[in-house]
Amino acid sequence: MAGGGQPTNAVAVRDLVKTFDNGRVRALDGVSFDVPTGQLAVIIGLSGSGKSTLLRHVNGMHTATSGIVHALGRDLGGVNARELRELRRDIGFVFQSFNISGRMTCLENVLTGALGRLRGPRYGVLSYPKAMRRDALEQLDRVGLADRAFQRTDTLSGGQQQRIAIARTLMQRPMVVLADEPVASLDPEISGQVMDVLFRACLEDNITVMCSLHQVDLALGWANRLIALRDGKVVLDSPVDEHLGQERVMEVYKRLD
C-alpha cells in the first residue's frame, strides 16, 4: 500500500546497459534517471527504442547487463527470488494486451489483484473475504465500471477491458505502477479515459506511475515528467510544463541519418 514509508525516489536508474544476442544488440545504453514518489513519468520513443525493456528492468523481468536499478529502495541486482516476489507485490504492471481472463467476471478479475495478500488458491468471488469484495467493487467504480461487476470480461470493449486491468492492478495496492503502451490499441477518447485513471491514481493514492506511450499529445496532456529514448539512450528528460512544446518532443521521432 502506498504510504509514508516510501523512499523519496521510487525508482532510480544509473548507467543501465542491456544487451541481447551475446552483446551484439544494445537495447539500453547508459540510461540514468530518477522518478520521485507520486510522479507520473511517461517514456516515449520509436518502436525498438528500449521503452518496454526499461520497464521490465524496474520489476525484475529483465536483469541488467551492467548498471544499477533501484525500485522502492531495493537494488534489483542484489535481490534473491523470494525478495523479488515480495517486491513485485508493491509493483503493479499494466500490459498492452490487458492480460485478464475473459471467462471471469469483471469483479473476479479485479479480485485476483489481491492474491498476493492471501494464502492458498481462490475459487470464485465468494471465496474472497467480504472486505476485499467491497474493495474490488470500489476499484470498479473508480474506473467507471461498477455496473459491469458480474459481466464476463470478454464481452467488454477493448477500452473497458484495459480499465478492468488497471482496476485489478490498483487492487494490488501497489506503490509503483508500470504501464507498457496501455493505450496503443485504443481510440483517442478511450485513451484519454485510461490515462485519466492512471493520473488520478498518482494524485489520490500517491502511486508512482511509469508509462510508455507513442502518443505525444497524451504524454504532454497527462504526464508530470517526460523521458524520451532513442536507440537505447535518454535524449530528453524534462518536466512537462509551458516550456516543453510538442515541436521539441517530436524531435525524438526524427530518425538519425
Give yes or no for residue 256 having a pLDDT over 80: no
pLDDT band at 19 (very low <50, low <70, confident <90, very high): very high
pLDDT band at 5 (very low <50, low <70, confident <90, very high): low
Half-sphere exposure of 186 (CA within 13 A, CB side): 24
Higher pLDDT, 102 or 61: 61
Q: Which of 17-21, 80-84, 200-204, 208-212 has the lowest mean pLDDT?
A: 200-204
Mean pLDDT across the chain: 89
pLDDT band at 257 (very low <50, low <70, confident <90, very high): very low
The mean pLDDT of 74-98, rounded to a whole number, is 91
pLDDT of residue 128: 93
pLDDT band at 1 (very low <50, low <70, confident <90, very high): very low
Give yes or no for residue 253 having a pLDDT over 80: no
The whole-model pTM stands at 0.89
Chain length of the chain: 257
Nearest C-alpha neighbor of 113 from the set 130, 93, 131? 93
Higher pLDDT, 200 or 252: 200
Q: Is 243 exposed, middle or buried (0-12, 13-18, 19+ CB in 10 A)?
A: exposed
Nearest C-alpha neighbor of 239 from the set 35, 10, 17? 35
Contact 211, 27 (CB under 8 A): no
Q: Give the C-alpha distances (Å, rounded to integers) separating 250 from 45, 111, 186, 189.
A: 9, 40, 21, 21
pLDDT band at 7 (very low <50, low <70, confident <90, very high): low
Q: Is 181 exposed, middle or buried (0-12, 13-18, 19+ CB in 10 A)?
A: buried
Q: Which of 124-138, 180-194, 216-230 has the lowest mean pLDDT?
A: 180-194
Task: Give the model confidence (pLDDT) of 197-243 as tens digits.
Answer: 888 888 888 999 999 998 888 889 889 999 999 999 999 999 998 78
pLDDT of residue 14: 97
Nearest C-alpha neighbor of 224 from the set 206, 74, 51, 95? 206
pLDDT band at 2 (very low <50, low <70, confident <90, very high): very low
Give yes or no for residue 4 having a pLDDT over 50: no
Q: Going edge to edge, which strands form the sheet with 233-239?
A: 91-94, 176-180, 208-213, 40-44, 225-230, 233-239
